[in-house]
Amino acid sequence: MSLDTLYREVILDHYSHPRNRGVVEPADVVRDGANPLCGDEIRVSLRVRDGVVEDVRFEGKGCSISQASASMMTERVKGRPVEDARRTIAAFKGMMHGEQAPGGDDLGDLEALQGVRKFPVRVKCATLSWITLELALDELGTA
Amino acid sequence: MAIPATIRDDFPILKQRVHGRPLVYLDSANTSQKPRVVIDALVRYYEEYNANIHRGVYAIAERATAEYEAARAKVARFLGAAEPAEIVFTRNITEALNLVAHSWGRRHVGPGDEILTTEMEHHSDLVPWQFLAQERGARLRHIPFDDEGRLVLGDLDRLLTARTKIVSLVHVSNTFGTVNPVAEIARRAHAYGAVVVVDGAQSAPHRPVDVQALGVDVFGFTGHKMLAPMGVGGLWARRALLEEMEPFLGGGEMISDVWLDHATWNEVPWKFEAGTQNVGDTIALGVAVEYLEALGMDAVAAHEQELTAYALEQLRDVPGLRILGPAGAADRGGVISFAMDGVHPHDIAQVLDEDGVCVRAGHHCTKPLHRRLGIGSSVRASFYVYTTREEIDVLARSLLKVRSLFRVA
């Protein structure tokens, strides 16, 4: 169990150069998430037009895993239909909990985060932004 | 008398390797490791005289009772109590502080009264008082700390009022390492008639404590941070205070007599020890205390102060570290918390783990303290009797590795 499996190059890159940081203006929904165990906080904001995630951003503080995961998440879902985003969320959560990705969903770069599974306490770091995005989409769906 | 270099042989866990490296355990403020004599005491109890106390008339029950009460006497001597009956055993210090808030607080604190703590408290010395304040309509006030993590006492006479019923504070901060001037604060608090409660979780294991010389009213401790097993802690309180307190939990052993609709209480301290107690761990705590006494608490404190001075020096050479708490080793316990520019504490601890180094990453149950500093969390390295300079060197080297991995070098 080496550190290289955790801190993959693409993760360190997203950590030092996060994509889509900030708050969407105007946003349809802004959602906060926190990991009470480590005090990490995240804010996910997004705007949806015609069933497509037109813009999504994140801000907050946390470890390299949580920040890189959030950055990669925004890159992945931005410009895609909400239904796609939901499928990716499910596939990502499944991957982090050691389940087979349903329907062979290709997670691409996100698969770099698979190494986190070997460090159980860090899984929550990786999933925080995804759970927050999911709650944001739920909120939007019922609005 | 110095701590003998052979001390590490007393701690079986320290012999192992993790990830192929020697274990470098720098998380003793979280929980201490246990010497062989403590582990043996536990095994001996379960192999030779496991029986419930205060009720059996047979030989092994009498032995268990005698050893349990002997542990109380050992802890009383260790803390400088006037008599063993002033020691109440609980599961840990969290339960001890809740006991005081419940049994003394609910009876003596009313609407508009004030409870004074500090901004550097552990959650276990904040939340029980929040419960009490909410229930009784009392007001919580807090002594602030300065940039070096020392309490600002200039305003103390403004924070203390005739309404102050309880002053509760940490003796040695689990995050800053600051040794607070408890005796002075107790003296000033008593002038206002307040009861002074001290969280001794990080002081009793590491320095000589004489509760009567400190001039406080209640002193809480927890066994697992002072070489004993997890699951036993307790408090010292003046007998008069214990006498006027209501029981905490109701049940067996804490009663004098019971009818279907009411009951009368056992004597101090047993009225606070309801139900079957953690007998084996308590006996082992007695052995841990004897082990510390044999080392000498002055020697323990001197060893840690020397290590702390050395560690502060070594860590100052690591670029980008922000060390929390007092700049020097004077009046500082063996605890050093720090943050590193551009690298999150969890990532630091993860990289250190690969080198076998165990540190705490997070808020160390002092969220208000971290919030005041404007950081979410920190890394904490903490030392004890078995910690060596070489281990601090490993820590410093490993921190340089963190910087290069995350490219902040």
Using CB atoms and an 8 Å cut-off, which of residues 65-104 of chain A contact chain B?
65, 67
d(CA B350, CA B346): 6
Mean pLDDT of chain B: 96
Instruction: Test A122 with B346 for CB contact under 8 angstroms.
Output: yes
Stretch B324-340: mean pLDDT: 96
Q: For residue B242, what is the enclosing H or E element?
A: helix B239-244
> Which domains does chain A carry?
3-140 (3.90.1010.10)
Contact between A39 and B377 using a beta-carbon 8 Å cutoff: yes
pLDDT at B262 over 70: yes
Tokens of B221: 């401790």
Query: Which residue in B365, B381, B392, B394 is the catalytic one?
Result: B365
Determine what percent of chain A is predicted with pLDDT higher than 90: 67
Residues from chain A contacting residue B346 (CB–CB below 8 Å): 38, 63, 65, 122, 125
What domains are there in chain B, each with its CATH number? 5-30+296-405 (3.90.1150.10), 39-294 (3.40.640.10)
Query: What average pLDDT does range A101-109 have in this prediction?
Result: 69
Q: Which of A1-5, B45-49, B318-322 has the lowest mean pLDDT?
A: A1-5
Distance, CA of A27 to CA of A104 (rounded, Å): 32
- Taking the CA atoms of chain B, what radius of gyration do you get in angstroms? 22
**Do strands B360-362 and B87-90 pair parallel, antiparallel, or not at all (unpaired)?**
unpaired
A63: contact with B, CB 8 A cutoff? yes
b/e sequence B29-45, b meaning 16+ C-beta within 10 Å = bbebbbbeebbebbebb
Asked if A38 is an interface residue toward chain B (Cβ–Cβ < 8 A), one would say yes
Given a cut of 80, whether residue A16 has pLDDT beyond it is yes
A63: nearest CA partner in chain B: B344
- The residue written with tokens 């316990």 in the block is B333
Note the pLDDT of residue B56: 80
Predicted confidence at residue B41, as pLDDT, reads 98
3-state helix, strand, coil in chain B (%, to 5): 45, 20, 40
Contacts of B401 in chain A (CB under 8 A): none
Euclidean distance between CA atoms B4 and B296, whole angstroms: 11
| Residue B310 binned pLDDT confidence (cut-offs 50, 70, 90) | very high
Site from A2, A15, A119, A124 to mutate, B interface, most B CB atoms within 10 angstroms: A15
pLDDT score, position A45: 97
Give the Cα separation of B2 and B115 in Å (integer).
41
CA gap B201, B223 in Å, rounded: 8
Query: Could you give the CA distance from residue A46 to residue A101 in angstroms, rounded to a whole number?
Result: 25
**Whole-angstrom distance, CA of residue B313 vs CA of residue B157:** 37
Would you say residue A104 has pLDDT above 90? no
Task: Give the mean model confidence (pLDDT) for residues A71-79.
Answer: 96
Q: Taking 70 as the threshold, does the pLDDT of residue A143 lie above it?
A: no
B365 tagged catalytic: yes
Instruction: Supply the pLDDT for residue A101.
Output: 56
Greater confidence, B81 or A8?
B81
Q: How far apart are CA B377 and CA A38, in angstroms?
A: 7
* pLDDT for position A106: 77
Query: Shortest Cα distance from B174 to chain A (angstroms)?
Result: 17
